Structure 1
Amino acid sequence: MTCVTKNDIREFAYKSGIDVLGFASPDCLFKYRVLLKNRCELGLSCSIEEKDVEKRINPALLLEDVKSIIAIAVSYNIDFKRDDLKSGFGIVSRTSWGKDYHMVLKEKLDMLKSFILSKCNNAKMVSLVDNNPLLERAIAYSAGIGFYGKNNMIINEEYGSYIFLGELLLNVYFEPDTPIDSKCGDCSLCLKACPGKAFVSDYNIDANKCLSYATIYKGYLNDETIKKLGKRIYGCDVCQEVCPFNKRAKKVMRNEFIPGKLKPRHNLTEILDLDNKRFKEVFGPTSSSWRGKNTIIRNAIIASINSKDKDSIKSLKSLLKGNSAYLRGYSAYALSILDGERSISGIENAYLKETDIETKEFMKKALKNIRGEVFEDNKR
């Protein structure tokens, strides 16, 4: 007889604000070894994914004598109406509304750990929330949290796919729960709606084409991606918004995920004018802060282009003279579209002073955009 039962753990979890909980075997990920290798070989994995396959499928690398994995899900499907802004704005994914979900789930898992330790004195545990290379969704699927949607999201029949996932590795054995077969049927709304056209087939995604990934990608984006990004500042919710399960998913009252200073539709000029202090105040408490200020501002510059927001011009001119070469290049490109010939002198001067090769190329592109020719060596 074990020191604590699955029902005891579930009962405590639900009282602690965890919406769904399940149990998986530590070896539930081994079957994904070939799939991961194939994805890497086909170029479907993105740069932030762990390249060492074993680290992605072997929980024993994190807890040597792991015998079970507890998977949890917390819904972020709050009942909140977004502001209808008339001026230029950027869109922030639901995953970054309110308090950083990593902290919220870590608190839930810490409470769960304390409860289990009160019953099992010798238990060893490691809590995980997006801070490790293990296949988190595969663990949730194996634990019966939900089924795989064709968009690769885990969908719970009650809460939809608007759920944050966390895991607890432990050296106490529990019988694994049963995975749930897909209930997508013939529906393919998510695949058709994807603005990045990222889906190779059902349940198969090219992560490099996902616009959510594009919003966190560091560096210059190609023209096609810039256009597809639209007004996105962080993340993309499209494939979830069209899902029938999410349209009827249960709403929750959870104050942690009510937007604070960062709004779901946030004023673009305010983002473009961010200094370090203001960035920490607005983005710091949320899950979007990890990618840093410059990437967020880069996305706001792109949003200003795609929304034709001329109110951004003053801020873009300031960024053109700023400390970040990366943002100087993007600002030049945005000004070439939004301000045209009125900005040509400023872009030319910035180009002549620029020392970063990649940024100079972007500025050349901006000048060609205005003049129809490449500006070089102060000759027109």
Structure 2
Amino acid sequence: MTCVTKEEIKEYAYKSGIDIVGFASPDCLFKYRDLLKDRYENGLNCNIEENDIEKRINPYILLEDVKSIVSIAVSYNIVYEADLPKSAYGTVSRTAWGIDYHKVLIDLLEKLRDFILSKCNDAKAVLLVDNNPLLERAIAYNAGIGFYGKNNMLINEKYGSYLFLGEMLLNIYFEPDKKVESKCGSCTRCLKACPGKALIGEYKIDANKCLSYATIKKGYLSDETIKKLGTRIYGCDTCQDVCPFNKTAKRVTKDEFIPRGLKPKHDLREILSLDKKKFQEVFGPTSASWRGKNTIIRNAIIASINSNDKNAIEPLKSLLSCENSYLRGYSAYALSILDGENSLPYIEKAYINEKDEAAKEFMKKAIMMIRGEVFEYNER
């Protein structure tokens, strides 16, 4: 007889605020080796993904005597309606509303681990929330948390796909839960709605085309991506927003995920004017802070272009002399579109003083656009 049962673990988890719990075998990821190899060989993975396949499928690297994986899911489909600002705004994915979910889920996993250790003195546990390269959704799928949607998101029939996932590796054996097969049927709404055309087939994604990835990708983006980003500041929820399962999913009341300093539709001028202190106040407590201030400001510059925000002109002029080179370049590009000839003297002055070649090239493009000249190179 085991020191603690699955039922006891699930009961404690549900009482502590975890919405779904499942159990998977530590060997459940080995079957994805060929899939990952195919993705790498065909260039479908983005540069923030781990390239070492073994690290993505082998939990024994993290816990040598692991016998089970406990998978948890917490819904962030909160009861909340975002206010529409009076000025131009940038949109923030639901994943960054409220307190950073990594902290929330680690806290829940620690409580669950302590409960298990109180029953099992010799138990060993490793807690994971996005802090490792293991295939998190694949673990959840094999633990019966939900099924794979055609958008590659994990979908639970009750809670939909707005789920934060976490895992606990244990050296205690539990019978794995049964997998749930796809219930998407003939629905292709997510494939049709994807603004980046990243969903290149059913259950197949080119991560490099995903706009959620574009919002965290550093440096310059292509002109095509700039247009597609719209007003996105962090993340993209489109493929989930159109999913029928999310239309009927259970809404939850969780104070942790209620937006505070960072709003779902946040004033662009405030973001464009962020200094380090203000960035920490607004973005610091959320999961959107990890890529840093400059990438967020770059996205706000792009959003100001796509929303034709004339109120952004003065903050953009200030950014022409900021410390970051690619923000200087992007500001010049934005001013050429929003302010045209009026900003030409400011851009030309910045161009003369610019030392960074990439930023200088982008400023040159801005100047040529204002003058009506052709600039052929559109990849940044």
Supply the distance in 2 between the matched residues of 1:64 and 1:365 (Cα, whole angstroms): 55
For the pair 1:80 / 2:80, whether they are aligned, the reply is yes
Conserved 8 A contact 1:127-1:169: yes
C-alpha separation in 2, matches of 1:362 and 1:61: 45
Instruction: Tell me the SS of whatever aligns to 2:200.
Output: strand
* Counterpart contact for 1:147–1:154, Cα < 8 Å: yes
TM-fit CA distance, 1:372: 2.1
Between the aligned partners of 1:246 and 1:369, the Cα distance in structure 2 is 43
Secondary structure class of the residue paired with 1:90: strand
Residue 374 of structure 1: CA displacement?
7.3
Q: Separation in 2 of the partners of 1:81 and 1:339?
A: 34
Residue 122 of structure 2 corresponds to residue 150 of structure 1: no
Q: Show structure 1 runs of 5+ residues with no match.
A: 376-380
Q: In the alignment, does 2:295 pair up with 1:285?
A: no
Q: Paired residue for 2:51?
A: 51
Separation in 2, partners of 1:200, 1:237 = 17
Amino acid in structure 1 at the alignment position of 2:173: Y
Q: Is the 8 A contact 1:364 1:374 kept in 2?
A: no
Pairwise CA RMSD of aligned residues? Answer: 0.8
Q: Which residue of 2 aligns with 1:203?
A: 203
Distance 1:82 1:124 in 2: 42
What secondary structure does 1:291 align onto? coil
> Hey, what does 1:378 align to over in structure 2?
none
Q: Which residue of 1 aligns with 2:105?
A: 105
Deviations 1:209-266 (A, max 9, x none): 0000000000100000000000000000000000000000000010000000100000
- State the partner residue of 2:348: 348
Q: Deviations over 1:169-202 (max 9, x none)?
A: 0100001001100000000100100000001100
- Measured against aligned partners, the alpha-carbon deviations of 1:277-317 in whole angstroms (never above 9, x if no partner) come to 00000000000000000000000000000000000000000
TM-score, normalised via structure 2 length: 0.98
- Supply the AA of the counterpart residue of 1:113: R
Report the equivalent of 1:251.
Answer: 251
- Identical aligned residues as a percent: 73
Give the unaligned 5+ runs of structure 2.
Answer: 376-380
Query: 1:369: Cα distance to partner?
Result: 1.1
* 1:86 CA displacement: 3.1
Offset of 1:87 from its aligned partner? 1.3
Are positions 1:93 and 2:93 aligned together? yes
Deviations 1:42-87 (A, max 9, x none): 0000000000000000001111111000000000000101111231
Q: What is aligned with 2:30?
A: 30
* Residue aligning to 1:114: 114
Aligned residues: 375
Structure 1's consecutive aligned runs of 4 or more residues displaced over 4 angstroms after TM superposition are none
Give me the whole-angstrom Cα distance separating, in 1, the residues matched to 2:199 and 2:251: 28
Once residues 372 and 54 of structure 2 are traced to their aligned partners in structure 1, the CA distance between those partners, rounded to angstroms, is 51
SS at match of 1:288: helix
Aligned equivalent of 1:6? 6
